[in-house]
């Protein structure tokens, strides 16, 4: 895939996500069982995003602690689990399938572009890290961490609480659809 296409995908990913979210909310037909399973998966994704946000100093320092010791893209992994969980909760299996295909089709090129950018910024340190840690799906052998701990101030700085608010909104809408519509 050409660099121009990858950069285009990088630009349209968020607006496309909002369009998909609207379609998802309209088509969702949750049941109690799917709601419980899906919201649980989504909550795990939310926790991974929160954990990652408390470790990342974007373009200042290479994040290798916390979830970054297992995957180079824990924010995207958390988002994937959030989305997948809500697709499961929707009770519409083909929405989950479309989500997985679109997510991986959009975000793998984005991760590739970002990996190139990080290689330029951090050089050999990033390249060594990339050789040891998976791009997306976590390896369960931990990378040698720099020992940095989760920082609540970074979580707040990156406004990750917005993901928690979004989680509560979507879970609330799905619950309302399951019980009242």
Q: How far apart are the first and last CA of the chain?
A: 43
Q: Among 48, 61, 73, 44, which Cα is nearest to 148's?
A: 61
Give percent above pLDDT 90 in the chain: 77
> pLDDT band at 16, cuts 50/70/90?
confident
Neighbouring C-beta atoms of residue 34, cutoff 10 Å: 20
Is 30 within 8 Å of 91 (Cβ atoms)? Answer: yes
- Identify the CATH number of the domain defined by range 25-180: 1.20.120
Summarised one tens digit per residue, pLDDT across range 112-131 is: 999 999 999 999 999 999 99
| Alpha-carbon separation of residue 61 from 9, 48, 79, 178 (angstroms) | 26, 20, 22, 44
Whether the predicted pLDDT of 21 surpasses 90: no
Summarised one tens digit per residue, pLDDT across range 50-99 is: 999 999 998 889 999 999 999 999 999 999 999 999 999 999 999 999 99
Per DSSP, the residues of the chain read --HHHHHHHHHHHHHHHHHHHHHHHHH----HHHHHHHHHHHHHHHHHHHHHHTT-BTTTB---SGGGGTBS-HHHHHHHHHHHHHHHHHT-HHHHHHHHHHHHHHHHHHHHHHHHHHHHHHTHHHHHHHHHSBSSSPPSSPP----PPP-HHHHHHTTTHHHHHHHHHHHHHHHHHHHH-
């Amino acid at each position: 895939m050409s660099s121009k296409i990858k950069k285009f995908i990088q630009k349209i990913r968020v607006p496309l996500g909002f369009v998909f979210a609207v379609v998802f909310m309209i088509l969702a037909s949750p049941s109690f069982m799917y709601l419980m399973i899906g919201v649980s998966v989504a909550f795990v994704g939310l926790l991974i995003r929160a954990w990652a946000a408390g470790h990342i100093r974007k373009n200042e320092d290479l994040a290798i602690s916390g979830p970054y010791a297992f995957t180079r893209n824990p924010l995207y992994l958390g988002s994937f689990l959030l989305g997948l969980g809500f697709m499961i909760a929707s009770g519409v299996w083909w929405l989950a399938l479309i989500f997985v295909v679109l997510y991986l089709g959009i975000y793998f090129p984005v991760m590739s572009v970002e990996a190139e950018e990080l290689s330029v910024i951090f050089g050999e340190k990033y390249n060594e890290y990339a050789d040891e840690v998976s791009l997306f799906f976590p390896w369960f052998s931990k990378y040698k961490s720099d020992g940095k701990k989760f920082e609540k101030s970074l979580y707040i700085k990156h406004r990750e609480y917005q993901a928690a608010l979004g989680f509560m909104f979507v879970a609330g809408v799905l619950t309302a659809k399951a019980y009242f519509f």
